[in-house]
Amino acid sequence: MSRYYLGMTFLYFAYGSNMLSARLIARCPSAKLVGVASVDSHSLGFSKKSVDGSGKATLIKQSAQFQTPGVLFEIGLAERDALDKFEGAGNGYDRVDDFRVTKTGQFIVTTTYIASEIQNDLAPYDWYLALVVAGALEHGFDDQYTSWLRSIETMTDHVVARKSRVAALRALADQGHLDYASLLLADSSRSGQRD
């Protein structure tokens, strides 16, 4: 098992909106892509309740046959507090510093954030799910996984000036996605959207 630590850095496993490089780099400018990894015995859910009432991504412990992809980034230790703040460590998410993922058959110890409580009747905002889909596309996740992401029911965010929405749309634009809705509608299996 490897720690992959290089000097004053740590490895971060992103599985939700921070998979999109532009979003993470806007938060942690030192972030450098290491590559795609996966975690066994966990599924992705949008069951962490946000302060805005929507569902945010979290990993949920499952049986052994589950495997969820994500992205590894190397980040400077000086930015750990900033990442804690953005991720809501101690305020809805727990930071896990001994989280084991697999990259090319090797176990690696990383840091990630997992919801301290889950609520299964939540849905993500459309722009938030677009971030996750864009991250999956950026890093070449397989079509089955991106199709599944697009099938997740979303909510429309009627607060167009919401700071988190504006920041998300900026990150998407920085990554070349000017129409976030097209990220969600690219697959006809998408189940719909609720208001």
Per residue in 104-134, pLDDT tens? Answer: 989 999 999 999 999 999 999 999 999 999 9
In a domain? residue 3: no
Q: pLDDT (tens digit, 9 = 90+) per residue, 158-190?
A: 999 999 999 999 999 999 999 999 999 864 333
Q: Residue 44: what pLDDT? A: 98
Instruction: For residue 16, tell me if it sits in a domain.
Output: yes
Q: Identify whether 24 is part of a domain.
A: yes
Query: Could you tell me the pLDDT band of residue 1, with boundaries at 50, 70 and 90?
Result: very low
How many separate domains does the chain show?
A: 1
Domain contains 55: yes
pLDDT band at 63 (very low <50, low <70, confident <90, very high): confident
Residue 58 sits in a domain whose CATH number is: 3.10.490.10
Does the residue 4 lie in any domain?
A: no
Q: Kindly tell me if the per-residue pLDDT of 62 is higher than 50.
A: yes
* Residue 159: inside a domain: yes
Q: Which domain holds residue 186?
A: 9-194
Q: Is residue 62 part of a domain?
A: yes
Instruction: Write the CB contacts of 80 (distance below 8 Å, at least 6 apart in sequence).
Output: 10, 111
Taking phi over 0 as left and psi of -120 to 50 as alpha, with beta for the rest, 52 belongs to: alpha
Domain assignment present for 2: no
